[in-house]
Amino acid sequence: MAVTGAGGGPQSDEPTAFRSLTATVANALQRDLVNARYMPGQKLPIVQLAKHYGVSPGAVREALSRLISEGLVEFNEQRGFRATTFSPNALADITRTRILIDQQALREAIRLGDVDWEAEVLAIHHRLANCPPRDPANPKAVRDEFKRLHRVFHRTLISACGSEWLMRFHDLLFDQTIRYRSVASAYEVERDDLRRDPNAEHAAIVEAAVARDADKAATLIEQHYRGTASRLSEGLTGLAPSGK
């Protein structure tokens, strides 16, 4: 039950330390789910997770409950908590919604962004374009620094949109896409009709954005996301959800 704080607003009856711990565990679980430490459909046993993260079962349960709303965790009375399963329909829905959100956000960023925004977009694109995506010692794994810069690049593109909600939805949908990519190993697909040059695609989007050509930028971001989805779908072919 909520109680009223000194300022007259609602205040949780949970201890502040517990809420902080829950947030920390939720962030760790979110990161591990996005990076496919837990495969689609895999059981998420509370006691084992509590031992792994060094927290109480109560903190893990609360963290898992929070992640249901982000589409990363599923709950069933009989089956308990599990990592959300994958499906072609779900990927298509994520992609379609991501296009709608980011096209609108990009249009607003182009309309509202100033010269500082332009400079930030150009700078992060330069850093991303010059960051090798893979480590020669482990060519099947995408480098953490490339993952970080890629996330920052797409967020910077829309950072001038003026809407906190658009930014939140962007982050949620980006995480969903990265989770599919982490599982599918999509960039290992070598079909000729799926070959892409992401650096060139990024450069074209930046050029249109800085030129304030919102229609072209919106078209390019849609093509970029649909290209990613096509490759992810191919990478997911034959993937069966884990029941472990």
Rounded to whole angstroms, the Cα distance separating 42 from 44 reads: 6
- Cβ atoms of residues 190 and 143 within 8 Å: no
Mean pLDDT of successive 10-residue stretches along the chain, which has 244 residues: 35 53 90 92 96 93 94 90 93 97 98 98 97 77 88 98 97 94 61 69 98 98 94 69 46
| Amino acid, res. 110 | I
Indicate whether this model's pTM tops 0.85.
no
Answer left, alpha or beta for residue 185, where phi above 0 means left and psi between -120 and 50 means alpha: left
**What pLDDT, on a 0 to 100 scale, did the predictor assign at position 238?**
54
**What pLDDT, on a 0 to 100 scale, did the predictor assign at position 182?**
86
The end-to-end CA distance of the chain, in Å, is: 36
**What pLDDT, on a 0 to 100 scale, did the predictor assign at position 183?**
83
Domains of the chain (ranges, CATH numbers): 14-83 (1.10.10.10), 88-235 (1.20.120.530)
Rounded to whole angstroms, the Cα distance separating 198 from 151 reads: 14
**What pLDDT, on a 0 to 100 scale, did the predictor assign at position 17?**
53
**What pLDDT, on a 0 to 100 scale, did the predictor assign at position 138?**
72
